[in-house]
């Protein structure tokens, strides 16, 4: 008799956004770049990463991937937009130290690999790898969890409410 083992899909709460990487959660106000700490690109959270992978924080579609691979945008199934920005001043690296696993327009699921980061190489070049998760359109009221340790695709970092339309 053969047994087929399938990985059990873990439960993740509706209207929740997960951490894109493993690391220490911090509020945006503690990010060492005023563009982020003063929320010029939107509200959100930041993670000081321990891991080498950036994953999809929810089910959705990759709406934008910067050619330098330092940032991407994803829109979830409710229309919530998330901008993930990896590191500070990483645009200047012109893609060095990053590898992408997805392309614009691709549908992804929570936890799918989006980008890998060569943390060793970038840290040795003095790069601050603090990764920001920004919500530029604030389509829904958001609540952020900005402290503690995060596990990629497992720790809830933001929740939101969807108001039902009544006809």
Strand order through the sheet with 53-55: 53-55, 113-117, 98-100
How far apart (Å, rounded) are the C-alpha atoms in residues 36 and 56? 21
CA atoms within 13 A of residue 157's CA, in its CB half-sphere: 36
In 10 A of CB 126, how many CB atoms?
Answer: 7
Smallest CA-to-CA distance from 63 within 72, 52, 50, 51 is with 72
Catalytic residue selected from 83, 85, 133, 152? 85
Q: Is 85 designated active site? A: yes
Q: Name 61's Cβ contacts closer than 8 Å, sequence gap at least 6.
A: 74, 75, 105, 106, 107, 108
How far apart (Å, rounded) are the C-alpha atoms in residues 114 and 103? 9
Residues carrying an active site annotation:
85
């Amino acid at each position: 008799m053969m047994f087929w083992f399938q990985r059990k899909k873990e439960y993740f709460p509706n209207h929740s956004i997960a951490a894109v990487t493993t690391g220490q959660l911090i509020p945006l106000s503690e990010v060492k770049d005023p563009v982020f700490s003063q929320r010029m690109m939107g509200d959100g959270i930041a993670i000081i990463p321990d891991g080498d992978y950036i994953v999809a924080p929810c089910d959705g579609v990759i709406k934008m991937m910067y050619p330098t691979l330092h940032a991407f945008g994803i829109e979830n199934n409710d229309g919530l937009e998330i901008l993930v920005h990896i590191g500070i001043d990483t645009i200047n690296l012109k893609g060095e130290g990053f590898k992408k696993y997805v392309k614009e327009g691709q549908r992804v699921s929570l936890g799918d690999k989006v980008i890998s980061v060569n943390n060793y190489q970038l840290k040795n070049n003095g790069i601050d790898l603090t990764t920001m998760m920004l919500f530029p359109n604030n389509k829904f009221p958001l609540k952020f969890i900005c402290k503690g340790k995060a596990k990629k695709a497992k720790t809830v970092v933001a929740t939101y409410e969807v108001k039902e339309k009544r006809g």
